[in-house]
């Protein structure tokens, strides 16, 4: 994917890692809680077309506020054809909450109105052939892939379809809004899976990544509540080496108990993972912190998918 060069700016900016939905509302939508009052003008987005996104409901599970993290500019993901604001406050406001991703003018029409299971395929050539753009979700078993899929489409059990007997090792296509696909790929890293099955899985998912022409980006799910696993690093490395566009989705970011989770908080594990994969990529891949318990990151993922998809459709 082509990335734009960043102009000279202060060497660091603050990126909000807060899980508070209020942050999303005040930064990405026109905050007008009382419709009888005159709407407040959008101050932060004079150059940006805002998506018609639903506000995230306040959630009783929202944990303590997370501190702002200093993010060096070279670690930002700047989508193609994106205007980079020259002043730091505007730039900060344009970064998707809990991510390193700058919003572009392509980030429109992000919400899911309709989702339906279409088919399970065992080979890339059997996948739908209607040419619609797609995003593939992949991750270690138990990383929270089904929970994330259900959260994205706001349906409690849609992902169960992929867990039915015979489908766990398939490429499962879900059509969204009749215009794009979410693709559920088999989880990897089952300790108990026989070697033969693991080899098979590797062969067909790698074939899918390399040959599926409508694949806009792989969404690699990484559990942020535990330290990085070797198999995840190997996976990220393979995608980097093969120049497959990739977004990292850090899951379970609500799990904040240090003791229970190997001594580190999610944002520390997120930072460590960046450091470990740094050498695999020419430019920093996009990443987003999420939780299927609090729905943190859901709107951000959808906006990011919308901007990648809309750009892909125009080129
Ligand atoms: P999959 O095997 O990758 O599809 O993982 P699942 O979605 O089935 O989730 C595995 C386990 O992790 C389940 O017990 C979920 O309830 C739990 N889980 C998934 N996402 C989250 C999350 O964001 N936060 C927390 N705390 N638990 C989660």
Q: Which atom of ligand 1 is nearest to the CA of 139?
A: 3
Tokens standing for residue 250? 């850090």
Assess whether the C-beta atom of 252 lies below 6 angstroms from ligand 1: yes
Cβ of 147 closer than 6 Å to ligand 1, yes or no, is yes
* pLDDT tens for the chain, residues 1 to 315: 433 333 334 444 544 443 332 222 222 222 233 333 333 222 222 222 223 333 333 344 444 444 455 677 888 999 988 888 888 888 989 999 999 999 999 999 889 999 999 999 989 999 999 999 999 999 998 999 999 999 999 888 887 777 776 667 889 999 999 999 999 998 887 666 666 666 666 778 899 999 999 999 999 999 999 999 999 999 999 999 999 999 999 999 999 877 666 688 999 999 999 999 988 888 899 999 999 999 999 999 999 999 999 999 999
- Answer whether 212 contacts ligand 1 (Cβ < 6 A): no
21 lines ligand 1 (CB under 6 A): no
Domains within the chain, CATH numbers bracketed: 94-254+266-314 (3.40.50.300)
Name the closest-CA residue to atom 25, ligand 1.
252
């Amino acid at each position: 994917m082509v990335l734009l060069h960043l102009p000279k700016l202060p060497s660091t900016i603050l990126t909000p890692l807060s899980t508070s939905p209020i942050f999303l509302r005040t930064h990405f939508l026109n905050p007008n809680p009382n419709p009888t009052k005159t709407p407040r003008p959008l101050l932060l987005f004079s150059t940006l077309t805002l998506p018609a996104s639903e506000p995230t409901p306040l959630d009783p599970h929202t944990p303590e506020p997370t501190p702002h993290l200093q993010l060096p500019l070279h670690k930002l993901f700047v989508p193609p054809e994106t205007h980079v604001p020259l002043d730091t406050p505007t730039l900060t406001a344009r970064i998707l909450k809990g991510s390193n991703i700058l919003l572009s003018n392509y980030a429109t029409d992000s919400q899911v109105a309709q989702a339906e299971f279409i088919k399970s395929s065992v080979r890339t050539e059997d996948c739908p052939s209607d040419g619609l753009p797609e995003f593939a979700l992949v991750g270690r078993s138990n990383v929270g892939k089904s929970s994330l899929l259900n959260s994205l489409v706001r349906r409690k059990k849609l992902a169960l379809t992929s867990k039915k007997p015979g489908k766990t090792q398939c490429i499962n296509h879900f059509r969204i809004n009749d215009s794009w696909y979410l693709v559920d790929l088999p989880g990897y890293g089952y300790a108990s899976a026989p070697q033969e099955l693991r080899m098979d899985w590797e062969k067909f998912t790698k074939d899918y990544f390399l040959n599926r022409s409508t694949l806009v980006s792989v969404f690699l799910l990484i559990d942020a509540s535990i330290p990085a696993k070797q198999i995840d690093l190997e996976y990220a490395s393979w995608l980097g080496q093969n120049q497959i566009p990739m977004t990292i989705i850090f899951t379970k970011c609500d799990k904040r108990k240090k003791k229970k989770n190997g001594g580190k908080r999610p944002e520390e594990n997120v930072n460590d993972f960046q450091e470990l994969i740094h050498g695999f990529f020419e430019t920093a891949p996009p990443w987003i912190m999420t939780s299927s318990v609090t729905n943190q990151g859901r709107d951000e993922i959808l906006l990011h998918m919308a901007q990648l998809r809309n750009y892909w459709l125009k080129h």
